[in-house]
Amino acid sequence: MKILLVEDDVSLSRYIEKGLTEAGHHVQCIDNGKYALAICMSEQFDIAIVDRMLPGLDGLSFVKALRASKISMPIIFLTSLCGIDDRVDGLEAGGDDYLTKPFAFSELLARISALSRRSSTLSEAKPSELVYGDLSLNLFDHTAIRQGQVLNLQPKEFRILELFLRHPGRVITRTMLLEHVWDIYFDPQTSVVETHISRLRNKLEKPFGDQLIHTVRGAGYKLEHKYGKDS
């Protein structure tokens, strides 16, 4: 795989590069977030490993800029910022995984392999477009359209809507959303899910005068054009 490593600690960068190269990967090392962003606009990578604290452009801003530019390669944050809020911030910014320093190199390799397999599986399984009534999602260019109007969705909102469109009429639990959208396999005890659902509803429903996402009390949410009293 072609891997982008964005890390300003020279000794650590060399250590990771050596290990990944020995594992058969091609690695490009960048020590500045702003320069890394410029490289990503002209070159394609299979995966990126990104530190949070970088000169030029910090890791969060770098990843947000990539996602805003519709660059969807898997991203692993590799950082010493290890709090739950730090992890949530990284995943909300568009990261796919979050590994804290100090770390075992074998775990980094395992996470790279897991993301690569998941990315390959999803690309094989995904159709180019998901449609539900007057709503459509283009999975290649990451656009959402309802009644001919383009919805300005953030990356996490798009992933939430994609999950709903893959399972219309099915209850999607908070746990499912945390795992699918944020790759969080524990409850961080934050309102991140509720906040994003509210933002998505404002964009998906208010301009059109109807409701698509319904709250199923005690269970989760459901995408449905017409749904009883729980809302």
- The residue type of 87 is R
Contact of 54 with 6, CB cutoff 8 Å:
yes
Per residue in 123-175, pLDDT (tens digit) is: 554 567 899 999 999 988 889 999 999 999 998 999 999 999 988 888 999 88
- The residue type of 123 is S
User: What are the Cα distances from residue 94, in Å, to 25, 55, 133?
Assistant: 23, 19, 28
Average pLDDT value over all residues in the chain: 88
- The domains found in the chain, sorted by start residue, are 2-125 (3.40.50.2300), 129-223 (1.10.10.10)
Give the three-class secondary structure for 113: helix
What ranges make up the beta strands (E) of the chain? Answer: 2-6, 26-30, 47-50, 75-79, 97-100, 129-132, 135-138, 143-146, 149-151, 171-172, 213-216, 220-223
In this prediction, residue 31 carries a pLDDT of 95
For residue 102, say if its preceding peptide bond is cis, omega within 30 degrees of 0. Answer: yes
Q: Say how far apart CA 50 and CA 99 lie, in whole Å.
A: 10
The answer on pLDDT for 59 being more than 70 is yes
In this prediction, residue 17 carries a pLDDT of 95
The answer on pLDDT for 43 being more than 80 is yes
Name 111's Cβ contacts closer than 8 Å, sequence gap at least 6. Answer: 76, 97, 99
In this prediction, residue 184 carries a pLDDT of 77
